[in-house]
Amino acid sequence: MGDTFTARTPHSGNTVQLRLVGEILDQQGDNLLLRGGWATLAAAEPEAQIGSFEVQLPPGTSADAYAEQLTQAGGGVLMAESTKSSDTDVGFVLLQTVIGGMAVVLVTIAIAGVFNTVLLNTRERSATSPS
């Protein structure tokens, strides 16, 4: 966090200095998706136009009702929709599941190893202790 890097806009090739202030895992196709303020993008790509918005609603607000009202209001909004269903990447979820399964197996093996060592030490001590 806090690192500065140079990003190049895809259309004009202009560059802009950006500072990393947070991280989310989000990707569209094969492109890395950067999120930021409109002023930052407009400085690097003056001809850019807004294609879509993401809106964070306060808790308790109905996303469906908000989207419906926004669509009906017009004002240049062609379509508004809530994102109830996530477009989760199935491959990523599968990879996470495999990694989680491997972690469980490794922890089980480690526990068995510790138990085996304790058992062998106990047997060795009981065999060498005076009766």
Give the C-alpha separation, 27 to 31, whole Å.
Answer: 6
In this prediction, residue 86 carries a pLDDT of 56
Paired tokens of 89: 């990447």
pLDDT tens-digit series, residues 56-115? 788 888 888 888 887 777 666 667 777 765 566 778 888 999 999 999 999 999 999 999
117 or 51: which leads in pLDDT = 117
State how far the alpha carbon of 128 is from the alpha carbons of 119, 122, 124, in Å: 14, 10, 6
Task: Collect all residues with Cβ–Cβ distance below 8 Å to 126 and sequence separation of at least 6.
Answer: none
Q: What is the pLDDT of residues 2-49, one digit of tens each?
A: 788 887 777 777 787 887 777 666 666 666 666 777 777 777 777 777
Instruction: Say what the pLDDT of residue 116 is.
Output: 97
Q: Which amino acid is at 69?
A: Q
Average pLDDT over residues 51-56: 73
Q: How confident is the model at residue 123 (pLDDT cuts 50, 70, 90)?
A: very high
Q: Which residue has the higher pLDDT, 70 or 131?
A: 70
Output the pLDDT for position 100: 96
